[in-house]
Amino acid sequence: MMQETMSIHVFIICWVGKETFAHHIADSLIDHVDHLTVIYSNENEQIENGSGNWHKVPNEWFFGKKFHACLEKNNADILLQIAADAHSDDWPELIANCMAAFNEYSQLGIWTPNINHTPWSQDRTAICPIDKDHLWSVIQTDAIVWALSTPVIQRLKKLDYQNNNLGWGIDWAAIAIAYGSSLLVLRDTNVEVLHPQGSGYASLDASNQMEGFLSQLSLHEQTLVKLLQEFYKSKDKDKILNERLSIRKVTKIRSKDLIKKFSHPVQ
């Protein structure tokens, strides 16, 4: 059990083919958290047992409905959700850093580590550092590994997940809820998590489900989502522009070198 003043409930979301990863994460964390639950599914409706509480759900449930199950079963101040295909070299250290942030910042709403292979990279989502160089206020966290405070959890529980099985937009909703409640959304760049690239479902379906899901938010929350998304687009445009300018600069330098090389008379 943890000796922190705040309690934490870790949820590992597992699906077909990721059982070994889920067992590894659960085994690594069971002695370092207050509660641990694995939300899992498989094609054969096979019962899985391991460290913590393993809760089987229908195999047709994707991230959206599995995340809703996490919300419903949460039994702590902080809900930390982990996708089973995420990898950390030190899961207990990740928990320690997460808890340290929540204990230091009473206004912290969402915490996330630095995750690779996500469109929400640090250079495209960072707003500003918070006190320490490694803690950054961000516009997006993704929902691969993230921790939510009680006010964010309670608001998310009021939303309907029935038509958002794929789960896109849950992160936007949570972040808008946090900022709309004057809470911080922080990324810890000292904590690294590896994640494979890509997803296993159609983005058009996910996008359509997200649109309906986000329409449940209050007008204030929906406005915050739009503002955050526009901020991301502007950062993305700046990154693309800088990359193009860098390429042009390199090309110009190389062109000059070639001209110099071939402008000398033949000896």
191 vs 91: CA distance, rounded Å: 10
**Is the torsion defined by CA of 42, 47, 53, 56 positive or negative?**
positive
Residue 171: give its domain's CATH number: 3.90.550.10
Within a domain: 176? yes
Q: What's the domain range around 103?
A: 8-231
Total tally of structural domains belonging to the chain:
1
Is 23's pLDDT higher than 60?
yes
Within a domain: 255? no
Within a domain: 73? yes
What is the value of pTM for the model shown?
Answer: 0.86
Percent of the chain topping pLDDT 70:
85
Within a domain: 128? yes
Within a domain: 257? no
Of 110, 118, 114, residue with least CA distance to 80: 110
Q: What is the pLDDT of residues 125-162, one digit of tens each?
A: 999 999 778 999 999 999 999 999 999 999 999 999 99
Phi then psi dihedrals of residue 20, to 5 deg: -60, -40
pLDDT at 2 (0 to 100): 43
Within a domain: 261? no
pLDDT at 115 (0 to 100): 96
